[in-house]
Structure formats: C-alpha cells, structure tokens
Amino acid sequence: MAGGVGLFPVAPGTAGAVAGVGLFVLLGDLPAPLYLLTLVAFIALAVWASERAGRAFGGDGDDSRIVIDEVVGQLAALAPLAPGRATPALVVTGFVAFRVLDVWKPGPIGRAERSLAGGLGVVMDDVLAGVLAGVLVGVLVLAGFGAGAS
C-alpha cells in the first residue's frame, strides 16, 4: 500500500506514481551507482511486500491497493535523472511516460503481467514500464533537453 497511498479513493496507481516522484526528490542526488543499488533494493522489497499484501487481501493478482509497484516503476523511469539532472519538465515527462506505459502495457510489459505470478508479476510489469520510460528520459537527457536548468 506504500504507506497507505493505495487507499487513495481515486486512481491509486497514479497516487503511487506521485509517491514515487516524492521519493525521487529525496534520492535523486545520490550518485548513480548508489541510486541504482537503492532501486534494486526497493524492487526486491516491492516484490516481497506485494506477495504478502496480495495474500492478505485474499487474492493473487494486482490488487488496486498495492501501489509499491508504481513507486518503484516511477523510480526506474526517473533513474536517468540521478544525480542532479532533474528538471521539472524531465520529471513530468518521466511521470507521464511511465503512467502511459503502465496503463497501456504494450509488448513485454503486458506479457510480464500475464506470465509472472505473485509479487514478481505485480512488480515486474511496472519495472519494465519504468525502464522503457527511463529510456525516453535518458534519450532526452543525452539530447540536451533540460541542460543548464535545475
């Protein structure tokens, strides 16, 4: 539930992604290797927590109250901005790209959701959506969008 964010009455997944942006604000100045190590640790925690929450909620699917997967997906989408490359425009781009891919679930994202069980299935589609959104953000960073701004 990511600190209760999953109980948000409207669009809890989007609320979870917003929580991910908030967490990025706290972690975004970490050196890139430490940011990535922290992200991997959060993904492992998310798989474990999603598995337990799914059982506690009486199902084996992605219950709407489970939003830690959106948190880690959003952190993956914003990874190219760590450290110190975040601008409001790039953060918004990463947020929107992640949410579009998370909802649309094209190709490997949808396959991951359908083929992986339990907490791994709950989390990995969001991680893949985040990685794909992160590729877009990384291309924009390499192209110089947001350079010189902070």
Q: What is the mean pLDDT of residues 3-29?
A: 85
Please say whether the dihedral angle defined by the alpha carbons of residues 9, 14, 18 and 19, taken in this order, is positive or negative: positive
Residue type, 111: R
Q: Which residues 6+ apart lie within 8 Å of 99 measured at CB?
A: 13, 14, 17
User: Phi and psi at residue 78, in whole multiples of 5°?
Assistant: -95, 0
- DSSP character string of 67-100: -HHHHHHHHHHTGGGTTTT--HHHHHHHHHHHHH
Give the integer Cα–Cα distance in Å for 66 and 107. 23
Percent of the chain with pLDDT over 90: 75
Chain-centre distance for alpha carbon 106: 16
Structure tokens at 79: 């990874």
Gap between the terminal Cα atoms of the chain:
31
pLDDT tens-place string over residues 86-96: 999 999 999 99
pLDDT tens-place string over residues 57-89: 877 667 788 899 999 999 999 999 999 899 999
What mean pLDDT value characterizes the chain?
90
pLDDT tens-place string over residues 111-131: 998 999 999 999 999 999 999
